[in-house]
Amino acid sequence: MIYREAGQFKTTYADDASMLPLREDRWFIWGLLAVAFIGVPLLANDYWIGAILTPFLIYSLASIGLNIITGVAGQLNLGAAAFMAVGAFSAYNFQLRIPELPLIINFLFSGFIAAGVGVIFGLPSLRIKGLYLAVTSLAAQFLFEWLFTNVEWFYNYVSSGSVTPAPMDVFGIAIDTPISKYLLTLSIVAVLTLVARNLLRSRIGRQWRAIHDMEVSAEVIGIKMAQTKLLAFAVSSFFLGVAGALYGFTYLGSIEAAAFDLHQSFIILFMIIIGGMGSLVGSFIGAAFILLFPIFMSQVMHATLSGVVDQGMLGNLELLIFGALIIFFLIVEPAGLARLWQVVKNKLRMWPFPH
């Protein structure tokens, strides 16, 4: 009874088309932001902030990027980590070769570099789709892994192939602690999530969804296929590029090609499948599930089975249970965990009446 439209009247078209028409949704978002920006820095320790929450935010941003091209526009991409690598190495080289460039502008330019690369690898989507397009994205993955491993200019001729970014600052404020890195990451993710939300509600977002549903029908009603598809690749790659820059600068503290391998691409793909294809909320839920649930499961299993089961067998058992849970969730709700969240919200709106 506390989650109702009843009594919340809208007197203008702008109110009717607002992003969060229910005041309860607005209160929830503002409360969530307050907890993230104020509560977490005050209450969480450095381990939770640096090792769990910061990568969670970065993976959520990467999942949003992949969800735009795969979940919304329907173009299968199996090389998300390759575009993250483009963003990370671009940010490092901008910092190295143009040191006077502000950090935020550096990350934006890195995203634009990744967007340009995404457009190039999106060109085959004008002719092919489905698994054939997936092979093209895999080619990007292998190409950039090789490029950033063997072309020494990208990592400034360091013999190890792993480079460390210089100390960061934003408007003169040093970004050198887990809390400051977390707040920088959170600010960028919050702004880009807002941008993605507005994009998906705009004419461009509706065109992407039309292409996802049926390309022939979308073309018949006047949607320019080449322009719309390439824009989807550009926007998706921009988000992935910024996520890659954050991954190297605020989480790892170093940049190397091995950090953006095919395994990383599949992790991001699993996040959007489990969270919900085409859903921004699902991007966050999927990232939380993939990152946090194995930690929870590991703690529970070590507390209950340690000393009873061999440690090596315990690790394999965790992977088996985690894989079985993923399959279970996909069978129970193929639309992802975001769909379960939507069902819960609908139940709240109808409670206590049956639905």
Give the integer Cα–Cα distance in Å for 232 and 196.
11
Torsion of CA 3, 7, 13, 18, to 10 degrees: -20
Give the integer Cα–Cα distance in Å for 102 and 110.
12
Residue 132: helix, strand or coil by DSSP?
Answer: helix
Residue located via tokens 């299968």: 76
Strand ranges for the chain from DSSP E = 168-170, 173-175
Q: What is the pLDDT of residue 184?
A: 95
- Write out the two tokens for 257: 């090609």
Q: What is the pLDDT of residue 310?
A: 67
Q: What is the pLDDT of residue 159?
A: 84
Give the integer Cα–Cα distance in Å for 264 and 258.
9
Torsion of CA 244, 197, 232, 338, to 10 degrees: 80
Strand ranges for 165-309 from DSSP E = 168-170, 173-175
Q: What is the pLDDT of residue 353?
A: 65
| Sign of the four-CA dihedral 268, 273, 277, 279 | negative
Give the integer Cα–Cα distance in Å for 327 and 295.
19
Question: Which pTM was predicted?
Answer: 0.91
Mean pLDDT per 10-residue segment, the chain (355 residues): 68 74 82 94 91 94 95 90 95 93 94 95 84 86 92 88 89 89 96 94 92 88 90 96 96 92 91 89 91 78 67 71 78 81 77 63
Residue located via tokens 């790659």: 237
User: 91 Cβ partners below 8 Å, 6+ apart?
Assistant: 106, 107, 110, 165, 244, 245, 248, 249
- Write out the two tokens for 203: 């004419």
Instruction: Report whether 247 contacts 88 (CB < 8 A).
Output: yes
Q: What is the pLDDT of residue 249?
A: 94
| Bridge partners for 168 per DSSP | 175
| Bridge partners for 309 per DSSP | 306
C-alpha neighbours within 13 Å on the C-beta side of residue 295:
11
User: 350 Cβ partners below 8 Å, 6+ apart?
Assistant: none
Q: What is the pLDDT of residue 144?
A: 93
Query: Would you mind telling me the total number of residues written for the chain in this entry?
Result: 355
| Bridge partners for 7 per DSSP | none
